[in-house]
Structure 1
Amino acid sequence: MRLSDFNSAPSTAAAAFLGPCADVPRWITAIVEARPYATRADLLAHAADAAPAWTEAELDRALQHHPRIGERAQGASAENELSRREQSGVDNSADTAEQLVAGNREYEAKFGRVFLIRAAGRNAEEILTHLQSRLNHTPENELPVVAEQLREIALIRLEGLVTS
């Protein structure tokens, strides 16, 4: 979507457009209410500024739309299409795939949520290393890491969806 179209869209349409980036209503509302943006960079900067204080409940809501790392999202939703694109570089060996599956299960058992990492620009071995490292976190230490990863994903998605 062009920035000018985003700026002039009805609030409900603009909010729906942002939903696949991160399903955090407070973040979406903050971005929509600050329109119009003079430049794409202004939009991205405001989106970044609006993201740091996400609550655990907001993170859990947003994570409902994220598949396990290494799994291909199914369905035709915008979130699933973005996820497939982001994970397209996560080709891995059978051994790495098995370790990701096992690590995902262990992570979910420990933290009660899907393991989230910005997959864009990372290979499977790098993701596995992060997963194994993060399994050593306490829930209190892990929560800000999850929030940061979701912010990175949201901003990458927004950047890819809005043109000048």
Structure 2
Amino acid sequence: MLHEVCACRAWSRGLLARRPFPGPDALLAASDAAVAELTARELAEALAGHPPIGRPEPGDPVSAREQRAMAGATAALRAEMHTLNQAYQERFGHVFLICATGLTAERLRDAIRLRVKNPPEREREIVRTELGRINRLRLTRLLDNPRPHTYADDAAERERMSTETTASVSTHVLDTGVGRPAAGVPVRLSARAGPGDDAPWTVLGDFATDTDGRCADLPPLPEGTAHARLEFRTGPHREGGGGAFFPEVAVVFAVVPGEHFHVPLLLGPFGYSVYRGS
């Protein structure tokens, strides 16, 4: 569970070495102390567990939630953020780390614009501070919700992701040929704005179904989205059964702001079906 907070093993050991904790404040203070003790190599191990801003790892709902603002950013801002991420990583040798919770996409961009100019020593201390803030927030979330994660949590999270001006999407894939969920199926989510069918598509990210065949951590759709597209790379999943008759399945559907759209795929050897679920 601590690995979900921070990928650095030294941080986990440092935190546990300070037990027992009389209360939440003592736990958070112990986390701060463990972060302060990290060597440069251990800090790099912690950073390796964080994806670049704007590109959360598939199957990582924690980072996707923390970086939620980037999912609704314009294509131009996402492209600029990608360029800035590359420049930052070339300069400092690691990802740009910031406690993104509550920050808009514009503020995230402005922060990396400023910090990419920092001297390495100054930036290293800022990174350590940001790591401490992220660990604090994640520990607090664990304290507030200590029970195991369930799909009811996913539903609640999706409800929060949908606003009056945005919509959200989830999916799952069932292999009807074997009667089991299809795990590890690559899924790409795209969106387009405007009423016309000739509007360009914007790719929002690449993901994969989990062991239950679900893909519940998709980002919210940008404001103004008229259509969403789910592209399933079903070929690799069916290869073990003699090849895939449908190596790819693309599903395009209309969306309405403020609603959640659960669109499952039922995949068979020689046919498939989709529907709007709940």
Give TM class, smaller chain: 0.7 to 0.9
Identity of aligned residues (%): 31
Name the counterpart of 1:119. 100
Work out whether residues 31 and 132 of structure 2, in 8 Å CA contact, stay in contact via their aligned partners in 1.
Answer: no
**Which stretch shifts more, 38-47 or 142-151?**
38-47
Name the counterpart of 2:270. none
Match of 2:58 among 59, 63, 74: 74
Query: Counterparts of 1:94-113 in structure 2 under 5 Å?
Result: 94-113=75-94
**Distance (whole Å) between structure 2 residues aligned to residue 114 and residue 132 of structure 1:** 14
Query: Counterparts of 1:1-164 in structure 2 under 5 Å?
Result: 17-75=1-59, 80-90=60-70, 91-163=72-144
**Distance (whole Å) between structure 1 residues aligned to residue 33 and residue 17 of structure 2:** 14
Could you tell me the TM-score, scaled by structure 2's length?
Answer: 0.49
Q: Secondary structure at the match of 2:107?
A: helix
Q: Secondary structure at the match of 2:67?
A: helix
Which blocks of at least 5 consecutive residues in structure 1 are unaligned?
1-16
More helix by share: 1
**Distance (whole Å) between structure 2 residues aligned to residue 150 and residue 106 of structure 1:** 20
Work out whether residues 35 and 131 of structure 2, in 8 Å CA contact, stay in contact via their aligned partners in 1.
Answer: no
Structure 1 runs of 4+ off > 3 angstroms?
Answer: none
Shift of 1:52: 1.7
Work out whether residues 11 and 31 of structure 2, in 8 Å CA contact, stay in contact via their aligned partners in 1.
Answer: yes
More strand by share: 2
**Distance (whole Å) between structure 1 residues aligned to residue 15 and residue 52 of structure 2:** 28
**Which stretch shifts more, 136-145 or 28-37?**
28-37
Name the counterpart of 1:8. none
Identify which of structures 1 and 2 has the higher relative contact order when contacts are C-alpha pairs closer than 8 Å and 6+ apart: 1
**What amino acid is the match of 2:17?**
E
In our comparison, the structure showing a higher alpha carbon Rg is 2
Shift of 1:63: 1.3
**Distance (whole Å) between structure 2 residues aligned to residue 128 and residue 73 of structure 1:** 19
Shift of 1:89: 2.6
**What amino acid is the match of 2:87?**
E
| Aligned residues: CA RMSD | 1.6
**What amino acid is the match of 1:34?**
R
